[in-house]
Structure 1
Amino acid sequence: MSITDFLTDLFNPDLAFLPKALAIAVMSSVVCGVVGCYVVLRGMAFIGDAVAHAVFPGLAIAFVLQGSLVLGGAVAGVATALLIAIFAQNRRLKEDSLIGVFLVATFALGIVIISQAPGYAGSLQQFLFGSITGIPDRDLYLVGGTGLVILGLVFALHKEFVAVCLDREMARSLGLPVFWLDIVLYVLVTLAVVISLQTIGNILVLALLITPAAAARLLTDRLGVMMLLSPAIGGTSALVGLYLSWSYDTPVGGTIVLVATAVFLLAWLFAPRHGLLTRRWRRPATAESAGGHRDDLAGAGEASPAVP
Protein backbone atom coordinates (compact mmCIF):
# COMPACT_ATOMS: atom_id res chain seq x y z
CA MET A 1 0.00 0.00 0.00
CA SER A 2 1.34 3.42 -0.92
CA ILE A 3 1.49 6.29 1.55
CA THR A 4 -1.21 8.07 -0.47
CA ASP A 5 -3.57 5.11 -0.06
CA PHE A 6 -2.85 5.04 3.66
CA LEU A 7 -3.65 8.74 3.99
CA THR A 8 -6.86 8.18 2.03
CA ASP A 9 -7.87 5.44 4.46
CA LEU A 10 -7.12 7.73 7.40
CA PHE A 11 -9.74 10.20 6.15
CA ASN A 12 -12.24 7.55 5.13
CA PRO A 13 -15.38 7.90 7.31
CA ASP A 14 -15.95 4.15 7.12
CA LEU A 15 -12.57 3.58 8.80
CA ALA A 16 -13.07 5.95 11.70
CA PHE A 17 -11.17 3.63 14.05
CA LEU A 18 -7.93 4.06 12.07
CA PRO A 19 -7.17 7.74 12.87
CA LYS A 20 -8.14 7.11 16.51
CA ALA A 21 -5.73 4.18 16.66
CA LEU A 22 -3.00 6.32 15.10
CA ALA A 23 -3.62 9.15 17.58
CA ILE A 24 -3.51 6.83 20.59
CA ALA A 25 -0.44 4.97 19.27
CA VAL A 26 1.52 8.19 18.68
CA MET A 27 0.45 9.87 21.92
CA SER A 28 1.21 6.84 24.05
CA SER A 29 4.54 6.29 22.29
CA VAL A 30 5.61 9.87 22.94
CA VAL A 31 4.65 9.66 26.62
CA CYS A 32 6.35 6.28 27.03
CA GLY A 33 9.43 7.68 25.33
CA VAL A 34 9.71 10.48 27.89
CA VAL A 35 9.00 8.35 30.98
CA GLY A 36 11.17 5.54 29.61
CA CYS A 37 14.25 7.76 29.88
CA TYR A 38 14.04 7.59 33.68
CA VAL A 39 13.34 3.86 33.52
CA VAL A 40 16.50 3.27 31.45
CA LEU A 41 18.66 5.60 33.55
CA ARG A 42 17.60 3.90 36.75
CA GLY A 43 17.77 0.39 35.33
CA MET A 44 14.19 -0.36 36.40
CA ALA A 45 12.96 -2.23 33.31
CA PHE A 46 11.75 -5.03 35.58
CA ILE A 47 9.47 -2.55 37.32
CA GLY A 48 7.99 -1.58 33.97
CA ASP A 49 7.32 -5.24 33.24
CA ALA A 50 5.67 -5.69 36.62
CA VAL A 51 3.46 -2.65 36.10
CA ALA A 52 2.45 -3.91 32.66
CA HIS A 53 1.22 -7.12 34.27
CA ALA A 54 -0.23 -5.36 37.29
CA VAL A 55 -2.77 -3.45 35.22
CA PHE A 56 -4.29 -6.68 33.93
CA PRO A 57 -6.74 -7.25 36.86
CA GLY A 58 -8.06 -3.72 36.41
CA LEU A 59 -8.55 -4.32 32.70
CA ALA A 60 -10.38 -7.56 33.44
CA ILE A 61 -12.70 -5.95 36.01
CA ALA A 62 -13.42 -3.03 33.69
CA PHE A 63 -14.20 -5.45 30.86
CA VAL A 64 -16.57 -7.51 33.02
CA LEU A 65 -18.32 -4.35 34.27
CA GLN A 66 -18.22 -2.79 30.78
CA GLY A 67 -16.36 0.23 32.09
CA SER A 68 -13.34 2.16 30.83
CA LEU A 69 -10.36 -0.11 30.30
CA VAL A 70 -7.93 2.77 30.69
CA LEU A 71 -9.42 3.81 34.03
CA GLY A 72 -9.60 0.24 35.33
CA GLY A 73 -6.01 -0.49 34.36
CA ALA A 74 -4.80 2.76 35.90
CA VAL A 75 -6.43 2.02 39.27
CA ALA A 76 -4.99 -1.50 39.41
CA GLY A 77 -1.54 -0.40 38.27
CA VAL A 78 -1.32 2.49 40.71
CA ALA A 79 -2.45 0.27 43.59
CA THR A 80 0.23 -2.30 42.75
CA ALA A 81 2.90 0.40 42.36
CA LEU A 82 2.04 1.73 45.82
CA LEU A 83 2.24 -1.77 47.30
CA ILE A 84 5.67 -2.34 45.74
CA ALA A 85 6.96 0.98 47.04
CA ILE A 86 5.63 0.29 50.56
CA PHE A 87 6.88 -3.30 50.76
CA ALA A 88 10.29 -2.24 49.39
CA GLN A 89 10.89 -0.23 52.56
CA ASN A 90 11.61 -3.54 54.31
CA ARG A 91 15.31 -3.98 53.52
CA ARG A 92 15.09 -7.71 54.22
CA LEU A 93 13.80 -8.29 50.68
CA LYS A 94 15.18 -6.66 47.58
CA GLU A 95 12.93 -4.67 45.31
CA ASP A 96 13.22 -7.10 42.40
CA SER A 97 11.99 -9.98 44.60
CA LEU A 98 8.88 -8.04 45.58
CA ILE A 99 8.27 -7.08 41.97
CA GLY A 100 8.43 -10.73 40.97
CA VAL A 101 5.86 -11.65 43.62
CA PHE A 102 3.37 -8.96 42.60
CA LEU A 103 3.98 -9.51 38.87
CA VAL A 104 2.83 -13.10 38.94
CA ALA A 105 0.06 -12.58 41.50
CA THR A 106 -1.62 -9.68 39.72
CA PHE A 107 -1.43 -11.32 36.30
CA ALA A 108 -2.92 -14.53 37.70
CA LEU A 109 -5.71 -12.54 39.36
CA GLY A 110 -6.51 -10.89 36.04
CA ILE A 111 -6.74 -14.25 34.26
CA VAL A 112 -9.09 -15.62 36.95
CA ILE A 113 -11.34 -12.54 36.73
CA ILE A 114 -11.60 -12.40 32.96
CA SER A 115 -12.19 -16.14 32.71
CA GLN A 116 -15.58 -15.55 34.36
CA ALA A 117 -16.75 -13.43 31.42
CA PRO A 118 -18.38 -15.10 28.39
CA GLY A 119 -16.17 -15.26 25.34
CA TYR A 120 -13.12 -14.35 27.40
CA ALA A 121 -10.64 -16.04 25.03
CA GLY A 122 -11.02 -13.37 22.37
CA SER A 123 -10.91 -10.60 24.95
CA LEU A 124 -7.79 -12.10 26.49
CA GLN A 125 -6.05 -12.03 23.12
CA GLN A 126 -7.04 -8.37 22.67
CA PHE A 127 -5.62 -7.45 26.08
CA LEU A 128 -2.37 -9.36 25.53
CA PHE A 129 -1.60 -8.30 21.97
CA GLY A 130 -3.58 -5.10 21.44
CA SER A 131 -6.19 -4.11 18.88
CA ILE A 132 -6.80 -1.06 16.72
CA THR A 133 -10.53 -1.62 16.37
CA GLY A 134 -13.28 -0.68 18.80
CA ILE A 135 -11.49 2.24 20.47
CA PRO A 136 -14.20 4.51 21.97
CA ASP A 137 -13.92 8.29 21.75
CA ARG A 138 -13.81 8.62 25.54
CA ASP A 139 -10.59 6.59 25.62
CA LEU A 140 -9.05 8.89 23.03
CA TYR A 141 -9.75 11.92 25.21
CA LEU A 142 -8.69 10.07 28.34
CA VAL A 143 -5.36 9.08 26.79
CA GLY A 144 -4.73 12.65 25.62
CA GLY A 145 -5.58 14.16 29.00
CA THR A 146 -3.58 11.57 30.93
CA GLY A 147 -0.61 12.08 28.62
CA LEU A 148 -0.62 15.83 29.30
CA VAL A 149 -0.76 15.22 33.06
CA ILE A 150 2.18 12.79 32.85
CA LEU A 151 4.31 15.19 30.81
CA GLY A 152 3.45 18.06 33.16
CA LEU A 153 4.58 16.10 36.22
CA VAL A 154 7.72 14.95 34.43
CA PHE A 155 8.74 18.52 33.60
CA ALA A 156 7.87 19.74 37.10
CA LEU A 157 9.90 17.03 38.86
CA HIS A 158 12.63 16.49 36.27
CA LYS A 159 15.57 17.55 38.46
CA GLU A 160 14.38 15.47 41.40
CA PHE A 161 13.85 12.38 39.22
CA VAL A 162 17.33 12.73 37.73
CA ALA A 163 18.90 13.04 41.18
CA VAL A 164 17.13 9.90 42.44
CA CYS A 165 17.92 7.93 39.28
CA LEU A 166 21.62 8.75 39.34
CA ASP A 167 22.38 8.50 43.07
CA ARG A 168 19.66 7.66 45.58
CA GLU A 169 21.86 8.11 48.63
CA MET A 170 23.07 11.51 47.46
CA ALA A 171 19.48 12.53 46.76
CA ARG A 172 18.50 11.42 50.27
CA SER A 173 21.40 13.39 51.79
CA LEU A 174 20.21 16.47 49.91
CA GLY A 175 16.88 16.19 51.70
CA LEU A 176 14.84 14.98 48.75
CA PRO A 177 11.78 12.82 49.61
CA VAL A 178 13.10 9.72 47.82
CA PHE A 179 10.24 7.47 48.92
CA TRP A 180 7.56 9.81 47.57
CA LEU A 181 9.52 10.43 44.39
CA ASP A 182 9.67 6.66 43.91
CA ILE A 183 5.91 6.45 44.27
CA VAL A 184 5.31 9.29 41.81
CA LEU A 185 7.67 7.68 39.28
CA TYR A 186 5.96 4.29 39.68
CA VAL A 187 2.59 5.95 39.15
CA LEU A 188 3.83 7.75 36.02
CA VAL A 189 5.22 4.49 34.63
CA THR A 190 1.88 2.84 35.37
CA LEU A 191 -0.12 5.54 33.59
CA ALA A 192 2.25 5.49 30.60
CA VAL A 193 1.80 1.72 30.34
CA VAL A 194 -1.99 1.89 30.68
CA ILE A 195 -2.52 4.43 27.91
CA SER A 196 -0.42 2.26 25.57
CA LEU A 197 -2.34 -0.98 26.07
CA GLN A 198 -5.02 -0.24 23.48
CA THR A 199 -2.71 -0.59 20.48
CA ILE A 200 0.36 -2.40 21.83
CA GLY A 201 -1.10 -4.93 24.25
CA ASN A 202 -0.08 -6.11 27.69
CA ILE A 203 2.83 -8.30 26.61
CA LEU A 204 4.56 -5.87 24.25
CA VAL A 205 4.01 -2.58 26.08
CA LEU A 206 7.32 -2.82 27.95
CA ALA A 207 9.15 -2.50 24.62
CA LEU A 208 7.46 0.84 23.97
CA LEU A 209 8.70 2.04 27.35
CA ILE A 210 12.28 0.78 27.05
CA THR A 211 13.34 0.45 23.40
CA PRO A 212 13.07 4.10 22.22
CA ALA A 213 14.80 5.34 25.38
CA ALA A 214 17.56 2.74 25.01
CA ALA A 215 18.12 3.77 21.39
CA ALA A 216 18.25 7.43 22.41
CA ARG A 217 20.75 6.57 25.17
CA LEU A 218 23.09 5.17 22.51
CA LEU A 219 22.75 8.25 20.33
CA THR A 220 23.60 10.92 22.90
CA ASP A 221 25.31 11.50 26.22
CA ARG A 222 23.11 14.47 27.14
CA LEU A 223 19.93 13.77 29.07
CA GLY A 224 18.06 16.71 27.55
CA VAL A 225 18.75 15.49 24.03
CA MET A 226 17.89 11.94 25.07
CA MET A 227 14.48 13.07 26.32
CA LEU A 228 13.81 14.67 22.94
CA LEU A 229 15.09 11.76 20.85
CA SER A 230 13.26 9.05 22.78
CA PRO A 231 9.69 10.33 22.21
CA ALA A 232 10.62 11.18 18.61
CA ILE A 233 11.75 7.59 18.04
CA GLY A 234 8.66 6.24 19.79
CA GLY A 235 6.22 8.43 17.88
CA THR A 236 7.87 7.72 14.53
CA SER A 237 7.88 3.98 15.28
CA ALA A 238 4.15 4.13 16.03
CA LEU A 239 3.41 5.97 12.78
CA VAL A 240 5.56 3.71 10.61
CA GLY A 241 4.44 0.59 12.46
CA LEU A 242 0.76 1.36 11.98
CA TYR A 243 1.33 2.08 8.30
CA LEU A 244 3.16 -1.24 7.79
CA SER A 245 0.57 -3.10 9.85
CA TRP A 246 -2.28 -1.67 7.79
CA SER A 247 -0.43 -2.33 4.53
CA TYR A 248 0.59 -5.93 5.18
CA ASP A 249 -2.17 -7.00 7.59
CA THR A 250 0.16 -7.72 10.51
CA PRO A 251 -0.55 -7.22 14.25
CA VAL A 252 -0.21 -3.52 14.96
CA GLY A 253 1.46 -3.87 18.36
CA GLY A 254 4.07 -6.32 17.16
CA THR A 255 4.81 -4.24 14.07
CA ILE A 256 5.32 -1.04 16.07
CA VAL A 257 7.67 -2.84 18.45
CA LEU A 258 9.66 -4.34 15.56
CA VAL A 259 10.09 -0.90 13.98
CA ALA A 260 11.33 0.52 17.29
CA THR A 261 13.67 -2.45 17.68
CA ALA A 262 15.07 -1.85 14.18
CA VAL A 263 15.85 1.75 15.18
CA PHE A 264 17.58 0.47 18.32
CA LEU A 265 19.70 -1.97 16.31
CA LEU A 266 20.73 0.78 13.89
CA ALA A 267 21.71 2.98 16.83
CA TRP A 268 23.63 0.09 18.40
CA LEU A 269 25.61 -0.34 15.19
CA PHE A 270 25.98 3.22 13.86
CA ALA A 271 25.59 5.64 16.81
CA PRO A 272 28.17 8.45 16.38
CA ARG A 273 30.10 7.71 19.56
CA HIS A 274 28.78 4.45 20.98
CA GLY A 275 27.90 2.43 17.88
CA LEU A 276 29.70 -0.90 17.54
CA LEU A 277 30.78 -0.39 13.92
CA THR A 278 31.49 3.29 14.47
CA ARG A 279 33.95 2.48 17.26
CA ARG A 280 35.69 -0.13 15.10
CA TRP A 281 36.02 2.29 12.19
CA ARG A 282 37.36 4.99 14.46
CA ARG A 283 40.13 2.86 15.98
CA PRO A 284 42.12 2.19 12.76
CA ALA A 285 41.77 5.83 11.74
CA THR A 286 43.00 6.95 15.16
CA ALA A 287 45.91 4.51 15.06
CA GLU A 288 46.85 5.61 11.53
CA SER A 289 46.65 9.24 12.54
CA ALA A 290 48.84 8.60 15.58
CA GLY A 291 51.34 6.64 13.45
CA GLY A 292 51.50 9.40 10.87
CA HIS A 293 52.03 11.92 13.63
CA ARG A 294 54.97 9.88 14.96
CA ASP A 295 56.46 9.60 11.44
CA ASP A 296 56.20 13.36 11.01
CA LEU A 297 58.01 13.87 14.29
CA ALA A 298 60.70 11.38 13.30
CA GLY A 299 61.13 12.98 9.87
CA ALA A 300 61.36 16.40 11.44
CA GLY A 301 64.05 15.12 13.78
CA GLU A 302 66.07 13.68 10.91
CA ALA A 303 65.77 16.82 8.82
CA SER A 304 66.79 19.16 11.61
CA PRO A 305 70.39 20.37 11.58
CA ALA A 306 72.87 18.82 13.95
CA VAL A 307 73.39 20.63 17.21
CA PRO A 308 76.97 21.88 17.46
Structure 2
Amino acid sequence: MNLLQYTFFQHALLGSLLASIACGIIGTYIVTRRLVFISGGITHASFGGIGIGLYTGISPILSAAVFSVLSAFGVEWLSKRKDMREDSAIAVFWTLGMAVGIIFSFLSPGFAPDLSAFLFGNILTITQLDIVMLGILAILLILFFTLFIHPIVAVAFDREFARSQGIPVQLFEYVLMMFIALTIVSCLRMVGIVLAISLLTIPQMTANLFTYNFKKIIWLSIGIGYLGCLGGLLISYFLNVPSGASIIFFSILIYAICKLLKATFIKTQMK
Protein backbone atom coordinates (compact mmCIF):
# COMPACT_ATOMS: atom_id res chain seq x y z
CA MET A 1 0.00 0.00 0.00
CA ASN A 2 3.00 2.30 0.44
CA LEU A 3 3.29 2.37 -3.34
CA LEU A 4 0.07 4.38 -3.60
CA GLN A 5 1.78 7.32 -1.88
CA TYR A 6 4.02 7.90 -4.89
CA THR A 7 2.78 10.16 -7.68
CA PHE A 8 4.52 8.13 -10.39
CA PHE A 9 2.72 4.98 -9.25
CA GLN A 10 -0.64 6.78 -9.19
CA HIS A 11 0.04 7.90 -12.76
CA ALA A 12 0.94 4.33 -13.69
CA LEU A 13 -2.35 2.98 -12.28
CA LEU A 14 -4.46 5.60 -14.04
CA GLY A 15 -2.50 5.25 -17.27
CA SER A 16 -2.94 1.47 -17.14
CA LEU A 17 -6.71 1.82 -16.76
CA LEU A 18 -7.06 4.26 -19.65
CA ALA A 19 -4.73 2.20 -21.86
CA SER A 20 -6.71 -0.96 -21.04
CA ILE A 21 -9.92 0.77 -22.12
CA ALA A 22 -8.43 2.05 -25.39
CA CYS A 23 -6.66 -1.24 -26.20
CA GLY A 24 -9.65 -3.33 -25.17
CA ILE A 25 -11.91 -1.47 -27.60
CA ILE A 26 -9.70 -1.11 -30.69
CA GLY A 27 -7.87 -4.38 -30.02
CA THR A 28 -11.12 -6.33 -30.38
CA TYR A 29 -11.52 -4.87 -33.86
CA ILE A 30 -7.89 -5.75 -34.68
CA VAL A 31 -8.25 -9.39 -33.63
CA THR A 32 -11.66 -9.77 -35.30
CA ARG A 33 -10.44 -8.24 -38.59
CA ARG A 34 -7.16 -10.19 -38.31
CA LEU A 35 -5.10 -7.02 -38.51
CA VAL A 36 -2.43 -8.10 -36.04
CA PHE A 37 0.35 -8.09 -38.62
CA ILE A 38 -0.74 -4.68 -39.94
CA SER A 39 -0.78 -3.31 -36.40
CA GLY A 40 2.73 -4.67 -35.86
CA GLY A 41 3.86 -2.81 -38.97
CA ILE A 42 2.31 0.45 -37.75
CA THR A 43 3.91 -0.03 -34.34
CA HIS A 44 7.40 -0.31 -35.78
CA ALA A 45 6.73 2.44 -38.32
CA SER A 46 6.11 4.81 -35.39
CA PHE A 47 9.83 4.72 -34.65
CA GLY A 48 10.32 6.88 -37.75
CA GLY A 49 8.20 9.60 -36.16
CA ILE A 50 10.17 9.34 -32.91
CA GLY A 51 13.45 9.83 -34.81
CA ILE A 52 12.08 12.85 -36.70
CA GLY A 53 10.79 14.33 -33.45
CA LEU A 54 14.18 13.97 -31.76
CA TYR A 55 15.93 15.53 -34.76
CA THR A 56 13.58 18.50 -35.15
CA GLY A 57 13.15 19.14 -31.44
CA ILE A 58 9.38 18.60 -31.32
CA SER A 59 7.64 16.08 -29.09
CA PRO A 60 8.62 12.54 -30.21
CA ILE A 61 5.19 11.23 -29.25
CA LEU A 62 3.44 13.91 -31.35
CA SER A 63 5.64 13.24 -34.39
CA ALA A 64 5.21 9.49 -33.86
CA ALA A 65 1.42 9.95 -33.87
CA VAL A 66 1.50 11.84 -37.18
CA PHE A 67 3.95 9.38 -38.76
CA SER A 68 1.95 6.36 -37.54
CA VAL A 69 -1.38 7.69 -38.85
CA LEU A 70 0.17 8.44 -42.25
CA SER A 71 1.76 4.98 -42.29
CA ALA A 72 -1.58 3.38 -41.40
CA PHE A 73 -3.28 5.22 -44.25
CA GLY A 74 -0.42 4.24 -46.56
CA VAL A 75 -0.73 0.55 -45.67
CA GLU A 76 -4.50 0.68 -46.13
CA TRP A 77 -4.15 2.40 -49.53
CA LEU A 78 -1.34 0.21 -50.86
CA SER A 79 -2.97 -3.04 -49.71
CA LYS A 80 -6.07 -2.19 -51.77
CA ARG A 81 -4.05 -1.86 -54.99
CA LYS A 82 -4.06 -4.85 -57.33
CA ASP A 83 -0.31 -4.61 -57.98
CA MET A 84 0.64 -4.74 -54.27
CA ARG A 85 0.11 -7.54 -51.77
CA GLU A 86 -0.95 -6.60 -48.26
CA ASP A 87 2.08 -8.16 -46.55
CA SER A 88 4.39 -6.34 -48.97
CA ALA A 89 2.71 -3.00 -48.18
CA ILE A 90 3.17 -3.67 -44.45
CA ALA A 91 6.84 -4.55 -44.95
CA VAL A 92 7.45 -1.29 -46.84
CA PHE A 93 6.22 0.95 -44.00
CA TRP A 94 7.58 -1.35 -41.25
CA THR A 95 11.15 -1.14 -42.57
CA LEU A 96 10.85 2.50 -43.72
CA GLY A 97 9.79 3.62 -40.24
CA MET A 98 12.60 1.76 -38.50
CA ALA A 99 15.19 3.03 -41.00
CA VAL A 100 14.04 6.66 -40.75
CA GLY A 101 13.92 6.42 -36.95
CA ILE A 102 17.48 5.07 -36.67
CA ILE A 103 18.93 7.60 -39.13
CA PHE A 104 17.33 10.68 -37.55
CA SER A 105 18.04 9.47 -34.00
CA PHE A 106 21.75 9.34 -34.74
CA LEU A 107 21.62 12.68 -36.58
CA SER A 108 19.92 14.37 -33.61
CA PRO A 109 22.01 17.26 -32.25
CA GLY A 110 23.20 17.31 -28.67
CA PHE A 111 22.97 14.46 -26.19
CA ALA A 112 21.75 11.19 -27.71
CA PRO A 113 18.51 10.12 -25.98
CA ASP A 114 17.95 6.73 -24.42
CA LEU A 115 16.14 4.95 -27.25
CA SER A 116 15.48 1.90 -25.07
CA ALA A 117 12.74 3.91 -23.32
CA PHE A 118 10.86 4.09 -26.63
CA LEU A 119 11.71 0.54 -27.66
CA PHE A 120 10.80 -1.21 -24.41
CA GLY A 121 8.79 1.40 -22.52
CA ASN A 122 8.58 2.32 -18.86
CA ILE A 123 5.12 2.93 -17.44
CA LEU A 124 6.60 4.61 -14.36
CA THR A 125 7.78 7.52 -16.51
CA ILE A 126 4.40 8.48 -17.98
CA THR A 127 3.42 12.09 -17.39
CA GLN A 128 0.15 13.94 -16.86
CA LEU A 129 0.20 14.85 -20.56
CA ASP A 130 0.38 11.15 -21.47
CA ILE A 131 -2.58 10.44 -19.18
CA VAL A 132 -4.60 13.29 -20.72
CA MET A 133 -3.83 11.97 -24.20
CA LEU A 134 -4.88 8.46 -23.20
CA GLY A 135 -8.05 9.82 -21.57
CA ILE A 136 -9.08 11.78 -24.68
CA LEU A 137 -8.38 8.77 -26.89
CA ALA A 138 -10.40 6.46 -24.61
CA ILE A 139 -13.37 8.85 -24.64
CA LEU A 140 -13.26 9.18 -28.44
CA LEU A 141 -13.14 5.39 -28.84
CA ILE A 142 -16.04 4.89 -26.43
CA LEU A 143 -18.15 7.45 -28.28
CA PHE A 144 -17.25 6.15 -31.74
CA PHE A 145 -17.90 2.49 -30.91
CA THR A 146 -21.11 3.33 -29.02
CA LEU A 147 -22.51 5.31 -31.94
CA PHE A 148 -21.36 2.99 -34.74
CA ILE A 149 -21.06 -0.44 -33.13
CA HIS A 150 -23.27 -2.19 -35.71
CA PRO A 151 -21.42 -0.86 -38.81
CA ILE A 152 -18.09 -1.61 -37.10
CA VAL A 153 -19.11 -5.21 -36.39
CA ALA A 154 -20.31 -5.59 -39.97
CA VAL A 155 -17.03 -4.24 -41.36
CA ALA A 156 -15.01 -6.40 -38.97
CA PHE A 157 -16.72 -9.68 -39.86
CA ASP A 158 -17.83 -9.28 -43.50
CA ARG A 159 -16.92 -6.24 -45.59
CA GLU A 160 -18.91 -7.39 -48.61
CA PHE A 161 -22.06 -7.74 -46.52
CA ALA A 162 -21.38 -4.31 -45.03
CA ARG A 163 -21.15 -2.81 -48.53
CA SER A 164 -24.42 -4.45 -49.51
CA GLN A 165 -26.05 -2.70 -46.55
CA GLY A 166 -24.91 0.71 -47.79
CA ILE A 167 -22.23 1.13 -45.10
CA PRO A 168 -19.28 3.35 -46.20
CA VAL A 169 -16.77 0.56 -45.58
CA GLN A 170 -13.71 2.42 -46.82
CA LEU A 171 -14.39 5.43 -44.59
CA PHE A 172 -14.79 3.20 -41.52
CA GLU A 173 -11.61 1.31 -42.37
CA TYR A 174 -9.55 4.50 -42.58
CA VAL A 175 -11.02 5.93 -39.36
CA LEU A 176 -10.38 2.68 -37.51
CA MET A 177 -6.83 2.51 -38.88
CA MET A 178 -6.30 6.02 -37.51
CA PHE A 179 -7.53 4.89 -34.09
CA ILE A 180 -5.22 1.87 -34.22
CA ALA A 181 -2.22 4.12 -34.93
CA LEU A 182 -3.14 6.60 -32.17
CA THR A 183 -3.70 3.82 -29.63
CA ILE A 184 -0.33 2.28 -30.44
CA VAL A 185 1.47 5.61 -30.00
CA SER A 186 -0.40 6.33 -26.76
CA CYS A 187 0.91 3.05 -25.30
CA LEU A 188 4.56 3.53 -26.30
CA ARG A 189 5.47 5.01 -22.90
CA MET A 190 3.98 1.97 -21.20
CA VAL A 191 5.39 -1.01 -23.07
CA GLY A 192 7.44 0.41 -25.95
CA ILE A 193 7.51 -0.27 -29.66
CA VAL A 194 8.67 -3.87 -29.31
CA LEU A 195 5.80 -4.93 -27.03
CA ALA A 196 2.94 -2.51 -27.84
CA ILE A 197 1.11 -4.92 -30.14
CA SER A 198 0.76 -7.38 -27.23
CA LEU A 199 -1.60 -5.04 -25.36
CA LEU A 200 -3.85 -5.02 -28.42
CA THR A 201 -4.04 -8.79 -28.86
CA ILE A 202 -3.34 -10.89 -25.73
CA PRO A 203 -6.32 -9.67 -23.61
CA GLN A 204 -8.60 -10.21 -26.63
CA MET A 205 -7.24 -13.72 -27.17
CA THR A 206 -7.92 -14.47 -23.51
CA ALA A 207 -11.45 -13.03 -23.68
CA ASN A 208 -12.10 -15.02 -26.87
CA LEU A 209 -11.63 -18.24 -24.87
CA PHE A 210 -14.90 -17.52 -23.07
CA THR A 211 -17.07 -15.70 -25.61
CA TYR A 212 -17.40 -14.90 -29.31
CA ASN A 213 -19.67 -11.90 -28.75
CA PHE A 214 -17.99 -8.69 -29.97
CA LYS A 215 -19.27 -6.49 -27.14
CA LYS A 216 -18.48 -9.04 -24.43
CA ILE A 217 -14.95 -9.44 -25.78
CA ILE A 218 -14.46 -5.69 -25.43
CA TRP A 219 -15.58 -5.67 -21.78
CA LEU A 220 -13.55 -8.76 -20.88
CA SER A 221 -10.50 -7.42 -22.70
CA ILE A 222 -10.58 -4.21 -20.70
CA GLY A 223 -10.73 -6.12 -17.41
CA ILE A 224 -8.08 -8.67 -18.40
CA GLY A 225 -5.82 -5.93 -19.78
CA TYR A 226 -6.00 -3.93 -16.56
CA LEU A 227 -5.37 -7.04 -14.48
CA GLY A 228 -2.31 -7.75 -16.62
CA CYS A 229 -1.05 -4.19 -16.06
CA LEU A 230 -1.52 -4.41 -12.29
CA GLY A 231 0.23 -7.78 -12.08
CA GLY A 232 3.05 -6.54 -14.29
CA LEU A 233 3.55 -3.45 -12.14
CA LEU A 234 3.85 -5.57 -9.00
CA ILE A 235 6.34 -7.93 -10.67
CA SER A 236 8.33 -4.93 -11.86
CA TYR A 237 8.39 -3.42 -8.38
CA PHE A 238 9.37 -6.54 -6.42
CA LEU A 239 11.89 -7.94 -8.94
CA ASN A 240 13.19 -4.55 -10.15
CA VAL A 241 12.73 -5.45 -13.82
CA PRO A 242 11.32 -3.35 -16.73
CA SER A 243 7.60 -2.73 -16.31
CA GLY A 244 6.71 -3.12 -20.00
CA ALA A 245 8.08 -6.64 -20.24
CA SER A 246 6.52 -7.54 -16.87
CA ILE A 247 3.06 -6.43 -18.02
CA ILE A 248 3.24 -8.52 -21.18
CA PHE A 249 4.65 -11.52 -19.29
CA PHE A 250 1.82 -11.41 -16.74
CA SER A 251 -0.77 -10.99 -19.51
CA ILE A 252 0.53 -14.09 -21.28
CA LEU A 253 0.53 -15.92 -17.95
CA ILE A 254 -3.17 -15.05 -17.52
CA TYR A 255 -3.86 -16.36 -21.04
CA ALA A 256 -2.01 -19.62 -20.36
CA ILE A 257 -3.88 -20.19 -17.07
CA CYS A 258 -7.27 -19.46 -18.67
CA LYS A 259 -6.44 -21.74 -21.59
CA LEU A 260 -5.47 -24.54 -19.19
CA LEU A 261 -8.60 -24.05 -17.07
CA LYS A 262 -10.84 -24.14 -20.13
CA ALA A 263 -9.18 -27.31 -21.44
CA THR A 264 -9.56 -28.96 -18.03
CA PHE A 265 -13.21 -27.93 -17.82
CA ILE A 266 -13.94 -29.35 -21.30
CA LYS A 267 -12.28 -32.67 -20.43
CA THR A 268 -14.31 -32.86 -17.22
CA GLN A 269 -17.55 -32.21 -19.12
CA MET A 270 -16.75 -34.90 -21.68
CA LYS A 271 -16.32 -37.48 -18.93
- TM-score, with normalisation over the residues of structure 1? 0.82
256, 264, 270: which is aligned to 1:277? Answer: 264
Shift of 1:101: 1.6
Partner of 2:66: 75
Partner of 1:141: 132
Checking the alignment, whether the CA contact within 8 Å between 1:212 and 1:231 is kept in structure 2 is yes
186, 197, 220: which is aligned to 1:206? Answer: 197
Confirm whether residue 187 of structure 1 aligns to residue 174 of structure 2. no
Confirm whether residue 252 of structure 1 aligns to residue 243 of structure 2. yes
Q: Which aligned pairs between 1:41-190 and structure 2 lie closer than 5 A?
A: 41-117=32-108, 118-120=110-112, 123-190=114-181
Partner of 1:218: 209
Query: Partners in 2 of 1:47 and 1:245 — Cα distance?
Result: 29
Shift of 1:92: 2.7
Q: Which aligned pairs between 1:225-236 and structure 2 lie closer than 5 A?
A: 225-236=216-227
Query: Partners in 1 of 2:39 and 2:240 — Cα distance?
Result: 29
Query: Partners in 1 of 2:252 and 2:124 — Cα distance?
Result: 24
Shift of 1:147: 2.1
Partner of 1:20: 11
Greater shift in the superposed pair: 253-262 or 85-94: 85-94
Query: Partners in 1 of 2:84 and 2:53 — Cα distance?
Result: 33
Aligned residues: 270
CA RMSD of aligned residues (A): 1.7
Query: Partners in 2 of 1:221 and 1:136 — Cα distance?
Result: 36
Confirm whether residue 264 of structure 1 aligns to residue 255 of structure 2. yes
Partner of 1:37: 28
Query: Partners in 2 of 1:25 and 1:263 — Cα distance?
Result: 17
Shift of 1:228: 0.6
Cα offsets for 1:133-156 (capped at 9, x unmatched):
543322222221122112222222
Query: Partners in 2 of 1:172 and 1:130 — Cα distance?
Result: 40
Shift of 1:66: 4.0
SS at structure 1 position matched to 2:225 = helix
Shift of 1:99: 0.9
Query: Partners in 1 of 2:15 and 2:57 — Cα distance?
Result: 20
Amino acid at match of 1:277: T
Query: Partners in 2 of 1:65 and 1:44 — Cα distance?
Result: 32
Q: Which has the larger radius of gyration?
A: 1
Identity %: 29
Query: Partners in 2 of 1:282 and 1:95 — Cα distance?
Result: 42
Query: Partners in 2 of 1:228 and 1:85 — Cα distance?
Result: 27
Partner of 1:288: none
Greater shift in the superposed pair: 136-145 or 258-267: 136-145
4, 9, 23: which is aligned to 1:10? Answer: 4
- TM-score, with normalisation over the residues of structure 2? 0.93
Structure 2: unaligned runs, 5 residues or longer: none
SS at structure 2 position matched to 1:67 = coil
Amino acid at match of 2:267: R
Distance 1:69 1:239, change over 3 A: farther
Checking the alignment, whether the CA contact within 8 Å between 1:29 and 1:196 is kept in structure 2 is no
Query: Partners in 1 of 2:235 and 2:31 — Cα distance?
Result: 28
Distance 1:18 1:65, change over 3 A: farther
Distance 1:224 1:140, change over 3 A: closer
Shift of 1:119: 4.4
Query: Partners in 2 of 1:94 and 1:158 — Cα distance?
Result: 29
